[in-house]
A and B are shown apart, each in its own frame.
Chain A
Amino acid sequence: MVTTKKIIAIGGSAGSLPVVLNILQNISPGFVIPIVIILHRLKNAPSEMDKIVSITRSDLKLREPDDKEPVKPGYIYIAPANYHLLLEADGTFGLDYSEPVQYSRPSIDVTFESIAAVYGPNATAVVLSGANNDGAEGIARIIEKNGTGIAQDPLTSEYPVMPAAAIRKNPAALVYAPPGILNYLEELSPA
């Protein structure tokens, strides 16, 4: 089942936090399309993400989703540490505590693939700076289902390996510097 609603997924690893924060600081107030952020981070340590962001933008509606929580417009979701974050066909989140994929849990590939299956052409997925290959497979699944894959320009990435891997695997991926990524997302029509 493919929903007609749009969704944006952003995956990042080493060096991606400043880019994510920049996007969140500058995104238009009232931006409607839900954004799902998957960052590699330490397990068994409480999350600092929501604190950091709430300090910079008190108007953003941020959630670390619980299992079965519905995806809602206008919300920004951050994948919880130590779980894979999945999207179900009924528009709810699902969590999965199975083996790490390429040493990562949450895995960017896993979330992108599940978003591709549910949202098809209405999914936009972005791979940011990082020092591994996570996200490249996921972008391939997104593009396969006619969604849009974007990679951060490796020249602007603190760790270029991850976006470079995504670009190498996906010639159809769009490549933008951080301001270009923000512009692209801002111009997506919410419907």
Chain B
Amino acid sequence: MTTAELDEIILLLKSEHGYDFSNYSAASFKRRVQRVMSLHRVANFYDLKYTITNDKHFVALFVQEITVNVTEMFRDPNFFRKLKDSVLPVLASYPSIKIWHAGCSTGEEVYSLAILLQEMGLFERTRIYATDINGAALEKARKGIVDVRLIKEYTQNYIKAGGSADFSLYYTARYDHAIMRKNVRERIVFSQHNLVVDGVFNEFQLICCRNVLIYFNRVLQNRVLQLFYNSLSPLGYLALGIKESLMFTDVKNKFETIDNTNKIFRRQD
């Protein structure tokens, strides 16, 4: 698929269906489109155009599948360890803690954070607002179900992240899946939020948005980072994916770098 063809698809989705992917990173968006085409056996660009124009059901699936919903518990254990050692103790000084987990996908990292908060005795006075653009992913997140075959890997990540308890305290295993227990679920609110068009909805002491901005171009990254800035309380923390940088963005001078390896930043004022 050529760049011009890709642009046509983006235009079509916007004009016919109101979905705006024009500021997604071109290289990864192209890969996603090709993936959806192969999943649904759409043979070529012309068939794709035809299907997008005529098949509303396909468009709904397309939009869901175009966003990346790959995640794991305690991905980048060192990041979670740093969060636990350096950020959460500061949040502990607030009477109530509000956290926004933006782009939470199927929830694995939200539950990871909840476990750390639980172990530090902070979960009871925390509210985590976990949002994603993808309703189907959110539905899965809300159920708190993870693949039981991954539990071994997650347990190792948990230990590397500095988890201090027995990981099995946090889930109940049932045949092929594990369900997160109530002790790490009850303070989480899952809701739909589209970073491309939606605005500020609360004020937070910590915003986690890991491996979401990589799918956006610089224009959209700047928009979303400004939204995060406006949604943080003074001296609030921002945590990005470990390869996501503020260096190439408009807000780089508005944040202090707390940890450049783990990409933890703090609003300047």
> A64 to B243, alpha carbons, bound, how many Å?
9
Question: Per-residue CB proximity of B73-110 to A under 8 Å, as 1/0?
Answer: 00111100000000000000000000000000000000
Choose the segment among B12-20, B175-183, B213-221 that binds chain A (4+ C-beta atoms closer than 8 Å): B213-221
CA distance A83 to B31 in the complex (A): 14
Please determine whether A44 and B70 come into contact, CB atoms closer than 8 angstroms: no
Task: Give Cα A110 to B30, complex, Å.
Answer: 11
Which residues of B sit under 8 angstroms from A89, Cβ to Cβ?
A: 3, 26-27
B2, closest chain A residue (CB): A117
CB-defined contacts of B211 to chain A, threshold 8 Å:
95, 97
- For the complex, give the distance between the alpha carbons of A71 and B42 in Å: 34
Whether a CB of chain B sits under 8 angstroms from the CB of A98 is yes
Q: Is B248 an interface residue (CB 8 A)?
A: yes
Chain A residues with Cβ below 8 Å from B157 are 44
Given the contacts A46-B78, A66-B243, A67-B244, A94 and B70 also touching, CB distance less than 8 Å:
no
Taking a contact as CB atoms under 8 Å apart, the answer to whether B25 and A88 are in contact is yes
Q: A44-B76, A44-B160, A68-B221 are in contact. Are A94 and B245 (CB under 8 A)?
A: no
Q: Is the interface of B mostly helix, strand, loop or mixed?
A: helix
* Contact residues of A: prevailing secondary structure: loop
Of all chain B residues, the one with the shortest Cβ separation from A89 is B26
Q: Chain B residue with minimal CB distance to A1?
A: B3
Q: Given A67-B244, A80-B243, are A98 and B31 neighbors across the interface (CB < 8 Å)?
A: yes
- Residues A110 and B31 in contact, CB atoms below 8 Å apart: yes
16 contacting pairs across A/B (C-beta < 8 A): A1-B3, A44-B76, A46-B78, A66-B243, A67-B244, A68-B218, A68-B245, A86-B27, A86-B28, A92-B248, A94-B214, A95-B241, A96-B28, A97-B70, A97-B241, A98-B31
